[in-house]
Structure 1
Amino acid sequence: MSIDRGDIPPTRDSVPLGLRVSAALGWRFLVVVASLYVIGVIFGRLASLVVPLAIALLLAALLAPAVGFLMRHRFPRGVATVVVLIGGLAVLGGLLTFVVMTFVNGLPDLAAQLARSIDAVSGWLVNGPLQLSESQLRDFVDRIVKTLQDNQSGITSSAITTAATVGETLVEMLLVLFALAFFLYDGPKIWQFLIRVVPGGPRRRVDVAGRRSLAALVSYVRATGAVAVVDALGIGIGLAVLRVPLAVPLAALVFIGAFVPIFGAVVAGGVAVLIALVANGPVTAAILLIIVIAVNQLESHVLQPFLLGRAVKLHPLAVVLAIASGLLVAGIAGALLAVPLLAALNSAIRSLLSEADEHVAPADVRTSEPEESGPDEPGLDRESGEPLPG
């Protein structure tokens, strides 16, 4: 009796090994990409909620050491939270007021210098090697004016959109303050509530990983703040020595831009160089460019490796991709928040994969503030608050 080979279904061994491995990797890759896409879409739709919460989390990481300091000096947590919030708002409001007033006071001089620079450029175009006629320049200016008039409706609608954006920004700022107050006051309780959804077996590891990610976030915010101060002082002193107008607002811009790694300080320094070129000429701009490059090199090769250390060390490619992804999902705020959140996620994943952290108690992980008393103390069960045996 003969057997028709065509009637026998194919077995696993009949599929080439390379095809099986490629298929297994392929569908897993598609699942990961689809998951990341869905997460990106959700975050994009909820950006007005996610971004304020993320900013509040960063500010909480920055201000939590101050709350912990006051608590160690016998201040109640509520009083410490109120003092830190009011003090932080006072410092931030005073700094913004100083920067804005300095910018407004220096703006007329900059506008006058800009007009003189435009006249000098026009004279060079007429009398220089290009030998343009005044009628050609006048036609060029008329075209610019006509273009602005033709797009007046678009400019008006953009202004209305900007006004609506200002209203949304105010609402988001209130949400940041509201979330920040609760993160500072009830942070440990909120975390304990969140990890209750984790099954009992891996809950201890997840708790340790979360605390390590918080410690990494605190370290990142502290180190980035120190780097931003050094960048702002270095470039600000250069601006002051070279007598470039608006030195203080430009230094503040460098400070804010330094919180976006790689790109932020470069863009802010480029703005300062352009203003120096308009206000003081090419020689001053070239000197300032050298200062900006020197400060950026100091930041990249000395400050960041020394201050950030191994706890939040990220590959430059990962930083660039994180900033680009954050920019696509949530704009400038996404670019600002991408790297610190990536640092926290990186620390949490490393903790979950580390065999050494398997035997670490959550209370032994040093974060930015003292532990709450009660069921979270070492030696007490987290669910019942009863003493552990032994």
Structure 2
Amino acid sequence: MAVARGPQKYYRWGLLAVFCVGSVAIIWSARVVLLPFVFAIVIAYLVAPPVEWFVKHHVHRVVAILLVYAALGMVITGVIVYMVPLWVQETVKMIHLIPALTRQLQQTWNYWLMRFHQAPMPLSVRRAIDETGVRWENKLFGLSKTVLSTLFGVLPGLLSLIVSPILAFYLLKDMERIRARFWQVIPVKWHAEVYVLGLDIDRALNGFIRGQLLVALVVGVLSGLWVGILGIPLALLIGAIAGITDIIPYVGPIAGALPAVVLALDRSSWTAIYAVLGFVAIHQLEGTVIGPKVMGDSVGLHPLVVIFAILAGGEIGGVAGLLLAVPATAVIKVVMAHLYRRLTI
């Protein structure tokens, strides 16, 4: 029996490896339809602590979930009642301003183009400037298409938010059953170690989600304040756009700043320059101080590690890599720490 146990052990490990690889392949193939489930997990992470608090105080789990949902519904209703009408009014104002701003931009462009062609300069210099202008015009056109496609690509995600609370409800409702099934799969001798590992991963991911929301809130508030200081209209709407789009790496800050810069041009060129400088400063502050500090504290990573993870994630996986870089690094750190302790005991 002792001889046969070794091959059986390797056979079980082989089956487990095949199962894990197959599961990852299936999830990757179905990643397009996983967005509502991702949102549901995020909602469950945010809602779980108050739900568990009610459960500990002898409130039925379903009643606890409904109570927390009711409280969130009241907050969301308050935002809709008091804030959305203001956002709608400012959006209507922006739509009415767009034709006039477009005409002003066209006139300014034509004026400087005329001045350029009237200026005396060597033909080679003029040709080089023309070619550079064409290249930058193509780049700006491509950037505009990227911004618009990204914004329209967010719409399915917003629609997924409608389904996500329902999925999150079932996750929270069946949390005990899910945990029981999970522990049935894990060998008994691993329970203590896996429990500690899962607790550390849960703490890191939970902190990441809250940290991401906090960073977006800070960026939105700072953007709205700066626009208001410059006297640019629709500061409330611009701040909301900047906060929401901040979760989109690279493209998000440009999309959030674009309405402010366009509206600033209606006042003066210097106001537009100040708006650009202000948004650059805000996102530099976010990228080098606020984001790394908040996210680093949330997931237990040094700010330098957070910056490196974001840059490496963007290089490896593009937008998805940017979004998943910090939580993946946090999980890897937790797993490696547990493996190190396991191997050095």
* Normalised TM-score (structure 2): 0.67
Amino acid at match of 1:202: W
Deviations, residues 125-162 of structure 1 (Å, cap 9, x unaligned) = 34x23259xxxxxxxxxxxxxxxxxxxxxxxxxxxxx8
Residue 331 of structure 2: aligned partner: 345
- Report the 3-state secondary structure (helix = DSSP H, G, I; strand = E; otherwise coil) of the residue aligned with 1:203: helix
Identity of aligned residues (%): 20
Residue 254 of structure 2: aligned partner: 267
Amino acid at match of 2:279: V
Which of 176, 180, 197 is residue 168 of structure 2 equivalent to?
180
The structural deviation recorded for 1:294 is: 2.8
Residue 320 of structure 1: aligned partner: 311
Mapped contact 1:254–1:268 kept (Cα < 8 A) = yes
Structure number with greater CO (CA < 8 Å, separation at least 6) is 1
**Aligned residues, how many?**
288
Higher Cα radius of gyration: 1
Structure 2: where are the runs of 5+ without partners? 1-18, 120-151
Amino acid at match of 1:247: A
- 1:182 and 1:311, CA in 2 relative to 1: closer, same or farther beyond 3 A? same
Distance 2:20 2:101 in 1: 50
- Report the 3-state secondary structure (helix = DSSP H, G, I; strand = E; otherwise coil) of the residue aligned with 1:355: helix
Which of 62, 71, 79 is residue 46 of structure 2 equivalent to?
62
Distance 1:191 1:102 in 2: 47
Mapped contact 1:239–1:247 kept (Cα < 8 A) = yes
Deviations, residues 71-103 of structure 1 (Å, cap 9, x unaligned) = 566644322312323443554564584545532
Mapped contact 2:224–2:236 kept (Cα < 8 A) = yes
Which of 303, 311, 321 is residue 290 of structure 2 equivalent to?
303
The structural deviation recorded for 1:181 is: 1.0
- 1:120 and 1:289, CA in 2 relative to 1: closer, same or farther beyond 3 A? closer
Mapped contact 2:309–2:329 kept (Cα < 8 A) = no
Residue 285 of structure 1: aligned partner: 272
Residue 79 of structure 1: aligned partner: 63
Which of 321, 335, 355 is residue 341 of structure 2 equivalent to?
355
Deviations, residues 243-292 of structure 1 (Å, cap 9, x unaligned) = 324322321222123335x6366334542454245433431122123322
Residue 202 of structure 1: aligned partner: 190
The structural deviation recorded for 1:215 is: 1.0
1:1-390 matched pairs, under 5 angstroms: 42-71=26-55, 75-89=59-73, 91-92=75-76, 94-95=79-80, 97-98=84-85, 99-126=87-114, 128-131=115-118, 172-260=160-248, 263=250, 266-272=253-259, 274-276=261-263, 278-307=265-294, 308-309=296-297, 311-313=299-301, 314-323=305-314, 327=318, 334=320, 337-339=323-325, 341-343=327-329, 345-355=331-341
How well do the aligned residues superpose, as a CA RMSD in angstroms? Answer: 4.0
- 1:310 and 1:97, CA in 2 relative to 1: closer, same or farther beyond 3 A? closer
- 1:192 and 1:283, CA in 2 relative to 1: closer, same or farther beyond 3 A? farther
Structure 1: where are the runs of 5+ without partners? 1-34, 133-161, 360-390
Distance 2:256 2:160 in 1: 29
Amino acid at match of 2:186: V
Deviations, residues 2-60 of structure 1 (Å, cap 9, x unaligned) = xxxxxxxxxxxxxxxxxxxxxxxxxxxxxxxxx99988764442023322222211222
- Report the 3-state secondary structure (helix = DSSP H, G, I; strand = E; otherwise coil) of the residue aligned with 2:232: coil
Amino acid at match of 2:212: T
Distance 1:264 1:89 in 2: 31
Distance 1:323 1:291 in 2: 25
Query: Bigger CA drift: 315-324 or 107-116?
Result: 315-324
Mapped contact 1:114–1:279 kept (Cα < 8 A) = no
Residue 139 of structure 1: aligned partner: none
Distance 1:231 1:341 in 2: 20
Distance 1:324 1:58 in 2: 25
Amino acid at match of 2:290: L
The structural deviation recorded for 1:232 is: 1.0
Residue 16 of structure 2: aligned partner: none
The structural deviation recorded for 1:70 is: 4.4
Amino acid at match of 1:238: W
Could you say which structure has the higher helix fraction? 2
Distance 1:169 1:79 in 2: 28
